[in-house]
Amino acid sequence: MGVDIHGVIECRLWGKESWASASPWQVILSLYELRHGRGDELSWDCLFGYSCAEDIVPLFGRRGLPADATSQLRLDAEDPDTAEHSHSYATWAEIAAVDWDEPCMENGRAAFYHLERWRRRPDGTLDFDAFAWPPIDVHDAAADRFGEDRTAPHDWPEGAEIEWGAYVYRPVVFTPRRLVFEDSDKWEPVFSVMRTLAGLHGDDNVRLVVYFC
């Protein structure tokens, strides 16, 4: 069985008002209710440091549960029968402050396993298709063109690409924007809810808490 991401959006209602500054966190929505679950492992790694073999530097990697998480979250996390693991969280203030275009790879290198895969259209132009592991034929072509010790995408020469079949493959330096928004259509609804709540209750009073199982 595969691993799914789970979690909730929490809010301290009216927390930016002086009379409600000590209001407790409350669960507003779950990721399940926003149709978020399986898949999108690259975005999981970028946001929370889980699931991917690439050397991605996560934004909010495995922080554990917040100390003041809602009681049900804490009870579930302590229950050995739930099999929850790799908890993390981020407030809307932290998410809003992210530089989405800053490379998120260690040492700024291209990805080791993944390439950009572009589809060749009949008119000769290219459309981005996906981030993909290269097929063995592309590895073999890289060995022929660049040398046996430069088959991994991050070892290809600058500007290199390999066309194979209907696709063109290029090395990629990941950024959070590309992993969280371009490679996935599931995070914008989550962030949209958080953004709306933050406008009402304050950026530091809205947070996303996640775990995997």
Mean predicted lDDT score pLDDT of the chain: 90
Kindly state whether residues 196 and 144 are assigned to the same domain. no
Kindly state whether residues 186 and 202 are assigned to the same domain. yes
Structurally, the chain folds into a number of domains equal to 2
- The domain of 207 spans 5-103+175-212
pLDDT, one tens digit per residue, over 155-170 is 999 999 999 999 999 9
CA 157 to chain centre: 27
Give the span between the Cα atoms of 10 and 187, in whole angstroms: 16
Give the span between the Cα atoms of 37 and 126, in whole angstroms: 31
Kindly state whether residues 45 and 124 are assigned to the same domain. no
Return the half-sphere exposure (C-beta side, CA atoms, 13 A cut-off) of residue 17. Answer: 8
**Residues whose CB is less than 8 angstroms from the CB of residue 142 and which lie 6 or more positions away in sequence, other chains included:** 134, 150, 151, 153, 156, 162
Kindly state whether residues 28 and 74 are assigned to the same domain. yes
Q: In the prediction, which pLDDT does 62 show?
A: 87
What six digits make up the tokens of 53? 């073999």
3-state SS, the chain, equals CCCEEEEEEEECCCCCCHHHCCCCCEEEEECHHHCCCECCHHHHHHHHCCCCCCCECCCCCCCCCCCCCCHHHHHHHHCHHHCCEEEEEEEHHHHHCCCCCCCCEHHHCCCCCCEEEEEECCCCCEEEEEEECCCHHHHHHHHHHHCHHHCCHHHCCCCCCEEECCEEEEECCCCHHHHHHHCCCCHHHHHHHHHHHHHHHCHHHEEEEEEEC
> What is the band of 106 on the pLDDT scale with cuts at 50, 70, 90?
confident
Kindly state whether residues 47 and 82 are assigned to the same domain. yes
Q: In the prediction, which pLDDT does 39 show?
A: 64
Cβ-based neighbour number of residue 143 at 10 Å: 13
Residue 1 has pLDDT above 60, yes or no: no
Q: In the prediction, which pLDDT does 119 show?
A: 97
Give the span between the Cα atoms of 50 and 43, in whole angstroms: 9
- What is the pTM (predicted TM-score) of this model? 0.88
Q: In the prediction, which pLDDT does 21 show?
A: 66
Kindly state whether residues 78 and 179 are assigned to the same domain. yes
Residue 61 has pLDDT above 80, yes or no: yes
Kindly state whether residues 89 and 181 are assigned to the same domain. yes
Kindly state whether residues 196 and 156 are assigned to the same domain. no
Residue 10 has pLDDT above 70, yes or no: yes
Kindly state whether residues 88 and 65 are assigned to the same domain. yes
CA dihedral over 192, 194, 94, 51, signed as positive or negative: negative
